[in-house]
Copies of this chain bind each other. A is one copy, B any other.
Amino acid sequence: MNVALPVSSTEPTARQQAVLDVVLALFAEQGDRVTMDAVARRASCSKETLYKWFGDREGMLNATVRWQASRVGFTPVDLARLDLVSLRRCLEEFAANWLSVISSPTSIALNRVAIGQAAGGAPLGIIVLENGRFALGKRLKPVLEAGRDAGLLAFEDSETAFRTFFGLFARDVQIRLLLGDRTIQPSLRIKEEAAHATQQFLALHGATPPSGVASA
Protein backbone atom coordinates (compact mmCIF):
# COMPACT_ATOMS: atom_id res chain seq x y z
CA MET A 1 0.00 0.00 0.00
CA ASN A 2 1.08 3.51 -0.77
CA VAL A 3 3.97 2.86 -3.07
CA ALA A 4 4.61 6.05 -4.96
CA LEU A 5 3.96 8.39 -2.05
CA PRO A 6 6.03 7.51 1.03
CA VAL A 7 4.30 7.93 4.34
CA SER A 8 5.91 11.26 5.06
CA SER A 9 6.93 14.52 3.47
CA THR A 10 6.75 14.16 -0.32
CA GLU A 11 4.40 16.77 -1.63
CA PRO A 12 1.94 15.73 -4.33
CA THR A 13 2.23 17.33 -7.74
CA ALA A 14 -0.31 19.88 -8.95
CA ARG A 15 -2.17 17.22 -10.90
CA GLN A 16 -2.23 14.94 -7.90
CA GLN A 17 -3.49 17.78 -5.75
CA ALA A 18 -6.34 18.31 -8.17
CA VAL A 19 -7.24 14.63 -7.84
CA LEU A 20 -7.14 14.84 -4.06
CA ASP A 21 -9.42 17.86 -4.19
CA VAL A 22 -11.83 15.76 -6.20
CA VAL A 23 -11.73 13.14 -3.47
CA LEU A 24 -12.48 15.81 -0.88
CA ALA A 25 -15.40 17.08 -2.93
CA LEU A 26 -16.78 13.56 -3.27
CA PHE A 27 -16.38 13.04 0.46
CA ALA A 28 -18.47 16.11 1.12
CA GLU A 29 -21.10 14.93 -1.34
CA GLN A 30 -21.43 11.23 -0.68
CA GLY A 31 -19.47 10.55 2.47
CA ASP A 32 -17.52 7.34 2.72
CA ARG A 33 -19.14 5.83 -0.34
CA VAL A 34 -16.49 7.09 -2.72
CA THR A 35 -15.48 4.60 -5.40
CA MET A 36 -12.26 4.62 -7.35
CA ASP A 37 -14.38 4.80 -10.47
CA ALA A 38 -16.15 7.96 -9.34
CA VAL A 39 -12.84 9.60 -8.50
CA ALA A 40 -11.33 8.69 -11.86
CA ARG A 41 -14.37 9.92 -13.75
CA ARG A 42 -14.69 13.20 -11.91
CA ALA A 43 -10.96 13.87 -12.04
CA SER A 44 -10.71 12.86 -15.70
CA CYS A 45 -7.90 10.47 -15.04
CA SER A 46 -7.58 6.72 -15.35
CA LYS A 47 -7.87 4.29 -12.52
CA GLU A 48 -4.51 2.89 -13.48
CA THR A 49 -2.99 6.28 -12.76
CA LEU A 50 -4.67 6.38 -9.36
CA TYR A 51 -3.14 3.05 -8.46
CA LYS A 52 0.26 4.07 -9.77
CA TRP A 53 0.17 7.24 -7.68
CA PHE A 54 -1.37 6.05 -4.45
CA GLY A 55 -0.85 2.30 -4.39
CA ASP A 56 -4.39 1.36 -3.39
CA ARG A 57 -7.61 2.85 -2.11
CA GLU A 58 -6.41 3.24 1.45
CA GLY A 59 -3.30 5.02 0.21
CA MET A 60 -5.48 7.46 -1.69
CA LEU A 61 -7.60 8.17 1.36
CA ASN A 62 -4.45 8.59 3.37
CA ALA A 63 -2.99 11.08 0.93
CA THR A 64 -6.29 12.95 0.87
CA VAL A 65 -6.35 13.38 4.63
CA ARG A 66 -2.73 14.56 4.63
CA TRP A 67 -3.43 16.95 1.80
CA GLN A 68 -6.34 18.57 3.59
CA ALA A 69 -4.37 18.65 6.83
CA SER A 70 -1.49 20.43 5.15
CA ARG A 71 -3.80 23.28 4.23
CA VAL A 72 -5.19 24.28 7.60
CA GLY A 73 -3.21 27.32 8.55
CA PHE A 74 -2.89 29.05 11.86
CA THR A 75 -2.18 32.73 12.30
CA PRO A 76 0.93 32.97 14.47
CA VAL A 77 0.77 35.33 17.41
CA ASP A 78 3.23 37.75 18.84
CA LEU A 79 4.03 36.39 22.28
CA ALA A 80 6.44 39.14 23.27
CA ARG A 81 4.02 41.92 24.13
CA LEU A 82 0.91 40.31 25.53
CA ASP A 83 -1.76 42.12 27.50
CA LEU A 84 -5.24 41.13 28.51
CA VAL A 85 -6.81 42.61 25.40
CA SER A 86 -4.52 40.89 22.92
CA LEU A 87 -4.69 37.62 24.88
CA ARG A 88 -8.45 37.71 24.86
CA ARG A 89 -8.57 38.47 21.15
CA CYS A 90 -6.09 35.70 20.45
CA LEU A 91 -8.13 33.15 22.36
CA GLU A 92 -11.31 34.28 20.66
CA GLU A 93 -9.68 33.93 17.26
CA PHE A 94 -8.45 30.46 18.06
CA ALA A 95 -11.88 29.36 19.22
CA ALA A 96 -13.68 30.97 16.29
CA ASN A 97 -11.22 29.48 13.81
CA TRP A 98 -11.66 26.03 15.30
CA LEU A 99 -15.44 26.28 15.27
CA SER A 100 -15.54 27.42 11.66
CA VAL A 101 -13.14 24.68 10.57
CA ILE A 102 -15.04 21.81 12.17
CA SER A 103 -18.32 23.23 10.88
CA SER A 104 -17.23 23.07 7.25
CA PRO A 105 -18.70 20.25 5.16
CA THR A 106 -15.21 19.16 4.15
CA SER A 107 -14.07 18.78 7.73
CA ILE A 108 -17.24 16.97 8.75
CA ALA A 109 -16.91 14.53 5.87
CA LEU A 110 -13.23 13.97 6.57
CA ASN A 111 -13.81 13.30 10.24
CA ARG A 112 -16.60 10.88 9.38
CA VAL A 113 -14.36 8.93 7.06
CA ALA A 114 -11.52 8.92 9.57
CA ILE A 115 -13.82 7.71 12.34
CA GLY A 116 -15.20 5.00 10.11
CA GLN A 117 -11.70 3.82 9.27
CA ALA A 118 -10.60 4.07 12.89
CA ALA A 119 -12.74 1.03 13.69
CA GLY A 120 -10.01 -1.11 12.16
CA GLY A 121 -6.43 -0.25 12.97
CA ALA A 122 -6.23 2.36 10.23
CA PRO A 123 -4.05 5.35 11.08
CA LEU A 124 -6.41 7.81 9.40
CA GLY A 125 -7.99 8.81 12.69
CA ILE A 126 -4.61 9.41 14.26
CA ILE A 127 -3.62 11.65 11.36
CA VAL A 128 -6.78 13.72 11.70
CA LEU A 129 -6.24 13.93 15.44
CA GLU A 130 -2.62 14.90 14.99
CA ASN A 131 -3.43 17.69 12.56
CA GLY A 132 -6.58 18.84 14.33
CA ARG A 133 -6.94 18.63 18.05
CA PHE A 134 -3.23 18.10 18.84
CA ALA A 135 -1.98 20.71 16.39
CA LEU A 136 -4.34 23.19 18.02
CA GLY A 137 -2.93 22.29 21.42
CA LYS A 138 0.65 22.74 20.27
CA ARG A 139 -0.16 26.18 18.91
CA LEU A 140 -2.23 27.32 21.82
CA LYS A 141 -0.21 26.11 24.77
CA PRO A 142 2.66 28.57 24.18
CA VAL A 143 0.09 31.34 24.16
CA LEU A 144 -1.36 30.15 27.45
CA GLU A 145 2.09 29.87 29.00
CA ALA A 146 3.04 33.32 27.76
CA GLY A 147 -0.16 34.59 29.34
CA ARG A 148 0.83 32.97 32.60
CA ASP A 149 4.32 34.42 32.41
CA ALA A 150 2.77 37.84 31.84
CA GLY A 151 0.69 37.38 34.99
CA LEU A 152 -2.56 37.26 33.07
CA LEU A 153 -3.44 33.59 33.61
CA ALA A 154 -3.13 31.16 36.49
CA PHE A 155 -2.94 27.40 36.03
CA GLU A 156 -0.67 24.50 36.83
CA ASP A 157 -0.66 22.31 33.76
CA SER A 158 -0.99 23.92 30.34
CA GLU A 159 -2.39 20.68 28.88
CA THR A 160 -5.19 20.64 31.44
CA ALA A 161 -5.87 24.32 30.91
CA PHE A 162 -6.02 23.81 27.16
CA ARG A 163 -8.49 20.95 27.52
CA THR A 164 -10.67 23.17 29.66
CA PHE A 165 -10.66 25.87 27.01
CA PHE A 166 -11.29 23.28 24.33
CA GLY A 167 -14.33 21.98 26.17
CA LEU A 168 -15.66 25.49 26.68
CA PHE A 169 -15.73 26.37 23.01
CA ALA A 170 -16.25 22.95 21.43
CA ARG A 171 -18.98 21.74 23.80
CA ASP A 172 -21.34 19.44 21.92
CA VAL A 173 -20.89 21.07 18.52
CA GLN A 174 -18.64 18.52 16.86
CA ILE A 175 -20.46 15.39 17.96
CA ARG A 176 -23.80 16.87 16.96
CA LEU A 177 -22.49 17.80 13.52
CA LEU A 178 -20.91 14.38 13.05
CA LEU A 179 -24.13 12.62 14.00
CA GLY A 180 -26.08 14.68 11.49
CA ASP A 181 -27.96 17.06 13.75
CA ARG A 182 -29.58 19.67 11.55
CA THR A 183 -30.97 21.79 14.38
CA ILE A 184 -27.55 23.25 15.09
CA GLN A 185 -26.46 26.32 13.15
CA PRO A 186 -23.07 27.34 14.47
CA SER A 187 -22.10 29.40 11.46
CA LEU A 188 -24.13 32.36 12.59
CA ARG A 189 -23.02 32.58 16.20
CA ILE A 190 -19.39 31.57 15.98
CA LYS A 191 -18.14 34.98 17.05
CA GLU A 192 -20.48 35.10 20.01
CA GLU A 193 -19.75 31.55 21.11
CA ALA A 194 -16.00 32.10 20.87
CA ALA A 195 -16.27 35.27 22.93
CA HIS A 196 -18.46 33.50 25.46
CA ALA A 197 -16.04 30.62 25.83
CA THR A 198 -13.10 32.97 26.19
CA GLN A 199 -14.98 34.91 28.82
CA GLN A 200 -15.64 31.75 30.77
CA PHE A 201 -12.06 30.55 30.44
CA LEU A 202 -10.76 33.86 31.76
CA ALA A 203 -13.24 33.64 34.61
CA LEU A 204 -11.76 30.26 35.54
CA HIS A 205 -8.08 30.87 34.87
CA GLY A 206 -7.64 34.63 34.68
CA ALA A 207 -5.25 35.93 37.31
CA THR A 208 -7.05 39.26 37.53
CA PRO A 209 -10.85 39.00 37.50
CA PRO A 210 -12.21 40.52 34.27
CA SER A 211 -13.65 43.88 35.24
CA GLY A 212 -17.35 44.43 35.11
CA VAL A 213 -18.33 41.91 32.44
CA ALA A 214 -20.74 39.27 33.60
CA SER A 215 -20.60 35.87 31.99
CA ALA A 216 -24.00 35.88 30.33
- Find A125's partner among B129, B133, B179 (CB 8 Å cutoff): B179
Stoichiometry (number of copies): 2
Q: For A203, give the chain B residue with the smallest CB separation.
A: B204
Contact residues, A188-216 vs B (CB, 8 A) = 197, 200, 203-204, 215-216
Q: Verify A32–B168 contact, CB threshold 8 A.
A: no
Q: Which of B33, B109, B175 contacts A174 (CB 8 A)?
A: B175
- Docked Cα-Cα span, A140 to B183, in Å, equals 20
Nearest-CB residue, chain B, relative to A200? B204
Q: B170 contacts A31, CB within 8 Å?
A: no
A181 at interface by CB-CB < 8 Å: yes
Q: How large is the interface on A (under 10, 10 to 19, 20 to 34, 35 or more residues)?
A: 35 or more
- Min CB gap A116→B, angstroms: 4
Does A152 sit within 8 A of B, measured CB to CB?
no
Partner of A172 from the list B116, B118, B170 (CB cut-off 8 Å) is B170
- Cβ of A133: which chain B residues have Cβ within 8 Å of it? 172, 175-176
Complex interface residues of chain A between 86 and 136 (CB less than 8 A to chain B) = 109, 111-112, 114-116, 118-120, 122, 125-126, 128-129, 133
Closest to A171 in B: B167
Interface residues of A (CB under 8 A from B): 30-33, 109, 111-112, 114-116, 118-120, 122, 125-126, 128-129, 133, 156, 163-164, 166-172, 174-176, 178-181, 197, 200, 203-204, 215-216
